[in-house]
Amino acid sequence: MFAPAPFLLKDASVSRVMTQVCLALVPGIAAYAWLVGPAILVQLVIASLAALLAEAAMLRVQGKPLGMFLADGSAVVTAWLIALTFPPLAPWWLVVTGTVFAIVIAKQLYGGLGQNPFNPAMVAFAVCIVAFPALMSQWPSVGLQLSLADQINVILGLAPRVDALAGATPLDAMKTALKLADGSVSVTQLLANQDIYGNFAGRGWEWVAAGYLLGGLWMWQRKLITWHVPTAFIGALVVVAGGLWLYNPAQFANPLFHLLSGGSMLGAFFIATDPVSGCTTPRGKLIFGAGAGLLAYIIRVFGGYPDGVAFAVLLMNLCAPVIDLLTQPPIFGMKDKA
């Protein structure tokens, strides 16, 4: 017997979706590479290789066809998100550990593609920041210029992890500075330091965020994502950050700083929009995005970690099935009752 109706199919496939997501990451990656050097490309390669190998091993163990699933590109998307959220000069084994954990535990143990309740990349980030908090906070100092060879040596552990790596993300720097100063410094004073904080939110980092925004908008235009999650995420972040900033601008940074720093843009467009672990109903997506934005702010400002996007997304992943159940849209012909 032949395949059942419909006999006509739209030209679409999972691997094309994943390829387009990777393409959409390119502007952000380009800005990132311009900012910290080609090390990030090395990390992307390491993470991709680790992800594909882990995926292949797990598929082999389960007796699933290798070619079809490796080609779907989902492992590569996970790997790229891991590489982009980890510090660019993190040791290779840290990236590999995170990636393997993501693919094996968070993805394949649940049955692989499409079945994981948690975003694998964010699981990797959370696991590593809990297990290796120091390594996960070593960001290259501002203006650090190392040659490619030096960077690779640092990543591979052949060169000592230089003091220059004692930098932090603008978010972390701000948080630490505020804590150390214990009220004697205001956010406005800190932000005036353009060496660290650039024009808006972190020297160079703001351009990486802009790159992600560009890619995200392209994905929206290509209908790979809907507007709901990014809008709700950014909206919630702006509302809570703006409210607190208006309440006390000395203690709380302005919304623009929060939007363009840390993982906000990457989270809003590439992580929280993951349909597998996120919500799928329109209202559910709005709640998911808003919840993730709000939690990200709360955790990065009031909590114990430098950034909150990963935990926020994981926490919303937890809620996604229940939110979906509670936000089922009314169906054709049943709208009066709803």
Partner 1 sequence: MSHYLFILVGAVLVNNVVLVKILGLCPFMGVSKKLETAYGMGAATTFVLTMATGASYIIDHYLLMPFGLEYLRTLSFIVTIAAIVQLTEMVIAKTSPTLQQTLGIYLPLITTNCAVLGVPLLNIANGYNFVESLLFGAGSAVGFSLVLILFAGIRERIEGADVPVYFRGVAIAMITAGLMALAFMGFAGLDKYQ
Partner 2 sequence: MLMNLFKFKGGVKPPTNKTQSLGLSIAQAPLPSKLVVPLHQSIGGTPRPVVQAGDKVLKGQLIGEADGWISAAVHAPTSGTVLEVAMHVQPHPSGLDAMCVVIEPDGKDEWIARQPVDYQALTPEQVREGLQQAGVVGLGGAVFPTHGKLTASKTVPMDELVINGAECEPFITCDDLLMRERAEEVVRGIGVFRDLLQPKKVLIGIEDNKPEAAAAMRAAVDALGEPFLVVQVPTLYPAGGAKQLIRVLTGKEVPASKRSTDLGVQCFNVATAYTAWRAIAHGEPVVSRLVTVTGNVGEPRNYEVLIGTPMGELLQLAQPQPDTDGIVMGGPMMGFLVPDAKVPVVKATNCLIAHSERLFPPKAPEMPCIRCGACAQACPHELQPFEMYWFSRAKNFGKTQEYHIFDCIECGCCSFVCPSRIPLVQYFRFAKSEIWARERDKNAAEGAKARFEFKQLRDEREKAEKAEKLAKAAAAQAAKKAAEAAAAAAAEASPTAPDSAAAATQVQASAATVEATATPAVDAEKEAKKAAIAAAMARAKAQREAVQPKNTEQLSAVQQREQAEIEARRQAAHLTDPAQAEPAAPASEKTD
Partner 3 sequence: MDILLAIAIMALGAVVLGAALGFASIKFKVEGDPLVEKIEAILPQTQCGQCGFPGCKPYAEAIAKGDVDINLCPPGGMEGVAKLADLLGREVKPLDAEEKPKQIAIIDENTCIGCTLCIQACPVDAIVGAAKQMHTIITPLCTGCELCLPPCPVECIRMEAITENIDNWKWKYPVVEIKAAPLQKAA
Binding site for partner 2 (CB under 8 A): 1-10, 12-14, 16-17, 68, 72, 74, 111-115, 226, 275-276, 280-281, 324, 328-335
Phi/psi at 81 (nearest 5 deg)?
-65, -35
Partners of 139 in the beta sheet? 167
How far is it, in rounded angstroms, from Cα 79 to Cα 71? 14
- Which of 293, 289, 303 is CA-nearest to residue 172? 303
Sign of the dihedral defined by the CA atoms of residues 12, 14, 20, 21, in that order = positive
Print the binding letters for residues 67-106 with partner 3: x by CB under 8 A, - otherwise: -x--------------------------------------
Stretch that binds partner 3, among 57-65, 96-104, 205-213, 258-266 (CB under 8 A): 57-65
Nearest to 171, CA basis, from 236, 267, 261: 261
Using CB under 8 A as the binding criterion, the count of chain residues that bind partner 3 stands at 6
The interface partner of residue 304, options being partner 3, partner 1, partner 2, none and the CB cut-off 5 to 8 Å by kind, is partner 1
Q: Is 65 in the site for partner 3 (CB under 8 A)?
A: yes
Q: What is the DSSP string of 157-206?
A: TSS---GGGGB--HHHHHHHHHHHHTTSS-HHHHHT-HHHHTTTTSTTHH
Site membership for partner 1, residue 112 (CB under 8 A): yes
Q: What is the H or E stretch that residue 233 is in?
A: helix 228-247
Q: How far apart are CA 206 and CA 221, in angstroms?
A: 22
The site string for partner 1 over 245-284 (x = CB under 8 A, - otherwise) reads ----------------------------------------
121 binds partner 1 (CB under 8 A): no
Residue closer to partner 3 by CB (options 67, 183) is 67
- Nearest by Cα to 18 from 270, 208, 213, 313: 270
Residue 40: burial class (beta carbons within 10 Å; 0-12, 13-18, 19+) = buried
Task: Name the amino acid, one letter, at 188.
Answer: T
Q: Smallest distance from the beta carbon of 191 to partner 3, in angstroms?
A: 52
Site string for partner 3, 271-290 (x = CB under 8 A): --------------------
Tell me whether residue 64 or residue 283 sits nearer to partner 3 (CB atom): 64
User: Shortest distance, CB of residue 131 to partner 1, whole angstroms?
Assistant: 10
**Which residue of 13, 62, 221, 248 would you call a contact of partner 3, by CB under 8 A?**
62
Residue 312 interacting entry, from partner 3, partner 1, partner 2, none, C-beta within 5 to 8 Å by type: partner 1
The minimum distance between CB 244 and partner 1, in angstroms, equals 13
CB of 119 to partner 1, least distance (A): 10
